[in-house]
A and B are shown apart, each in its own frame.
Chain A
Amino acid sequence: MSSAPQSTQTQPRSALRATAVVALVLLVLPLVAQWLGPAWVRTLAFAALYVMLALGLNIVVGFAGLLDLGYIAFYAVGAYTFALLASPHLTENFPRIAQAFPGGLHVPIWASIPLGAAIAAGFGVLLGAPVLKLRGDYLAIVTLGFGDIIRIFLNNLNEPINLTNGPQGITLIDPVRIGQLRFDHAVSVLGGQLTSLQLYYYLFTALALICILVCVRLQDSRIGRAWMAIREDEIAAKAMGINVRNIKLLAFGLGATFGGVSGSMFAAFQGFVSPESFSLMESVIVLSMIVLGGLGHIPGVILGAVMLSVFPEFLRHTVGPLQMQLFGRIVIDTEVLRMLLYGVALVIIMLYRPKGLWPAPQHGIAPPAEPASAVQPQADA
């Protein structure tokens, strides 16, 4: 920070080069993955979705220090909002709506994504308001309950009015459509072909990049500092004139917004949503991503999200065939094995790297006599 004036002369060049490399990798990755098999492209697209989710949860847990165990509820709210706005479900069940939209309800993504985000944010504030005075364990229990309440509502709101179609879920959700570009068909670009999965990958990656930008800028702002202050010491933060209520609600609302956006993308991508996808386990997995990667440190959170979303696919492709070869049948189901390995990995991380694989750089280890510029480059890396 203090070295900013010096480093601006040397940094742009290397920063530009690094950006170019990352951009190139992100662009080429789905092409390589396609060659390995379309399932890998799908995995990459999901990784981008999880990056968004993890970044959203990181605002609440990592920045503001509010332990939220029901985060997946906002993902669900986003997904169902999108599903209802772009599927035949509402027109089939409500004659009034069918009359109003004779051609079927097909809200374009320009409206449905922001709406999904806004409704999720509304739910975020709804959850945040009653838990403002709770901390730590107590907060975790309430948010845990909230997450399950949403899921149970989705499961049971097929009566008396069929809003969510209960456990069957909502099907026939429109794919993403941007102008003439339909994401459910392959398109030819520059003589080559891009599959539907690859298109989704690019869209999700673009959205994830926007989320990263938002997080980076917020972290390094007056708002981000206020979040960290309430995380560190709420009373001292109040004494500094921070309106703790508003700043907490902002964290809940913004975190939920990220969840809502990725949820609506999930609905479009799958073409189908059901309450099953939003179990407590999903909340736990997203939380594991940010804890494993490095709570509160954006690059760590991204690393955690990518690792934990690619890892099960990797297992599926290696452990299954391996067992078939060795025993002639599947002895341990990959899903079970995945959970087992998650557990082991988290225990190991907590033992040896309690701050995550890629934690925020530690300030203040260097002796005070050292000039600031000697310490800073590390901090910026």
Chain B
Amino acid sequence: MAREPVLNVHGLSKRFGGLQALQEVRICIERQQIYGLIGPNGAGKTTFFNVLTGLVRPDSGTFELNGHTYEPTSVHRVAAAGIARTFQNIRLFPDMTALENVMVGRHVRTHCGALASVLRTRAVRTEEEQIRRRSRELLEYVGIGRLGHLQARTLSYGDQRRLEIARALATDPKLLALDEPAAGMNATEKLDLRRLLERIRSDGITLLLIEHDVKLVMGLCDQVTVLDEGRIIKEGSPAQVQHDPVVIEAYLGRANAPK
């Protein structure tokens, strides 16, 4: 596999009042990796995610995407730069149809303005056609092609997760960041999800995964970083991480804690 980094973050620190949420976190994700970010509750995973996608401003840190530095100062610029995300608690546009949800995802890669839309110029019509076609393809791709005409709120939980991924893919991301995609899924849904994520990777997209489900992470990820109390306590392959005493301690506490 090619060894070029897609995302390169250095020296990322973030403090909320008296709490050091992230301290000197660095991460380097290579192309077509599925990269896992794990850690016990309150470890700083979601903060890291929010900083990365521009929702929260970091105190310090440098960010590089595909070799270009970017400033995660506003959410929409991050999306334009090429990072798409999903949310821990699904955030679709509930009253819009599934297809329209994905079509919104194309917004950042299309350009027609209000005046052109009112005049319905040739450019607008071609672009609309492309948006529609690409969005249908993406619904097909994540396996809910039949459900495009349904309101997003009426989809089942698993399908909503898929739709959120399709919508994120519609922004043509270089890095797809998933915040606990398997949360609340049953075993079958998890298996389906795993297949989908592997397929996305094989189609050339790099993935960053925050996940509680250790089994899923271990089976799926190429590289894992473990956060605890805002610091990186271990990084390496799933196998290396799994048996690391520091990691086990972070998750379970020490067996015979000396007083």
**B-contacting residues of A (Cβ < 8 Å)?**
1-2, 213-214, 217-218, 221-226, 228-229, 232-233, 235-244, 250, 254, 362-366, 368-369, 372, 375-376, 379
Pairs across A and B, CB under 8 Å, 18 listed: A213-B118, A217-B117, A217-B118, A221-B124, A222-B107, A223-B114, A228-B100, A236-B91, A238-B74, A238-B76, A242-B104, A243-B76, A254-B114, A362-B151, A363-B97, A363-B150, A369-B146, A379-B149
Chain A binding surface SS class: helix
A241 x B147 contact (CB < 8 A): no
Q: What separation, in Å, do the CA atoms of A379 and B97 have in the docked complex?
A: 11
Contacting B107 at CB < 8 Å: which of A213, A242, A376?
A242
B79 part of interface (Cβ distance < 8 Å): yes
A232-B79 contact, Cβ under 8 Å, with A362-B151, A368-B146, A368-B147: no
Q: What separation, in Å, do the CA atoms of A375 and B93 have in the docked complex?
A: 20
A240 x B107 contact (CB < 8 A): yes
- Using CB atoms, name the residue of chain A closest to B84: A239
CB contacts (< 8 Å) of B114 on chain A: these are 218, 221, 223, 250, 254
CB contacts (< 8 Å) of A214 on chain B: these are 118
B240 part of interface (Cβ distance < 8 Å): no
Q: What separation, in Å, do the CA atoms of A235 and B89 have in the docked complex?
A: 12
CB contacts (< 8 Å) of B103 on chain A: these are 225
- Using CB atoms, name the residue of chain B closest to A367: B150
Q: What separation, in Å, do the CA atoms of A224 and B100 have in the docked complex?
A: 11
Specify which of B84, B96, B99, B148 lies most central, judged by the most chain A CB atoms within 10 Å of its CB: B96
Within 8 A of A (CB), among B198-231: none
Q: What separation, in Å, do the CA atoms of A375 and B146 have in the docked complex?
A: 12
Q: What separation, in Å, do the CA atoms of A1 and B135 have in the docked complex?
A: 13
**Least Cβ distance of B54 to chain A in Å?**
8
CB contacts (< 8 Å) of B91 on chain A: these are 233, 235-236, 239
B171 part of interface (Cβ distance < 8 Å): yes
- Using CB atoms, name the residue of chain B closest to A214: B118
A222 x B112 contact (CB < 8 A): yes
B167 part of interface (Cβ distance < 8 Å): yes
CB contacts (< 8 Å) of A229 on chain B: these are 93, 96, 104, 107
Minimum-distance CB pairs A-B, first 7: A241-B108, A241-B79, A364-B150, A364-B151, A221-B117, A232-B93, A238-B75
- Using CB atoms, name the residue of chain A closest to B111: A222
Q: What separation, in Å, do the CA atoms of A299 and B141 have in the docked complex?
A: 35
CB contacts (< 8 Å) of A244 on chain B: these are 76
A225 x B87 contact (CB < 8 A): no
Q: What separation, in Å, do the CA atoms of A280 and B193 have in the docked complex?
A: 53
Q: What separation, in Å, do the CA atoms of A244 and B92 have in the docked complex?
A: 16
Within 8 A of A (CB), among B75-128: 75-76, 79-80, 84-85, 87, 91-97, 99-100, 103-110, 112-114, 117-118, 120, 124, 127-128
Number of A-B residue pairs having CB atoms within 8 Å of each other in the complex:
128
Q: What separation, in Å, do the CA atoms of A218 and B96 have in the docked complex?
A: 16
- Given A222-B107, A364-B149, 12 other A-B contacts at CB below 8 A? A218-B117, A221-B124, A225-B103, A225-B107, A226-B107, A228-B95, A236-B87, A237-B93, A240-B167, A243-B76, A363-B149, A363-B151
Specify which of A232, A233, A365, A379 lies most central, judged by the most chain B CB atoms within 10 Å of its CB: A232
B53 part of interface (Cβ distance < 8 Å): yes
B60 part of interface (Cβ distance < 8 Å): no
A364 x B97 contact (CB < 8 A): yes
Contacting B104 at CB < 8 Å: which of A218, A240, A364, A366?
A240
**Least Cβ distance of A205 to chain B in Å?**
19
**Least Cβ distance of A65 to chain B in Å?**
10
CB contacts (< 8 Å) of A226 on chain B: these are 104, 107
- Using CB atoms, name the residue of chain A closest to B152: A364
B154 part of interface (Cβ distance < 8 Å): yes
Q: What separation, in Å, do the CA atoms of A277 and B233 have in the docked complex?
A: 68
- Using CB atoms, name the residue of chain A closest to B91: A236
CB contacts (< 8 Å) of A224 on chain B: these are 117
**Least Cβ distance of A359 to chain B in Å?**
11
- Using CB atoms, name the residue of chain A closest to B117: A221
A240 x B79 contact (CB < 8 A): yes
Within 8 A of A (CB), among B125-174: 127-128, 131-132, 146-151, 153-155, 167, 170-171
- Using CB atoms, name the residue of chain B closest to A226: B107
CB contacts (< 8 Å) of B124 on chain A: these are 221
Contacting A240 at CB < 8 Å: which of B94, B113, B155, B171?
B171
B250 part of interface (Cβ distance < 8 Å): no
B183 part of interface (Cβ distance < 8 Å): no
B246 part of interface (Cβ distance < 8 Å): no
A242 x B108 contact (CB < 8 A): yes
- Using CB atoms, name the residue of chain B closest to A217: B118
CB contacts (< 8 Å) of B148 on chain A: these are 2, 372
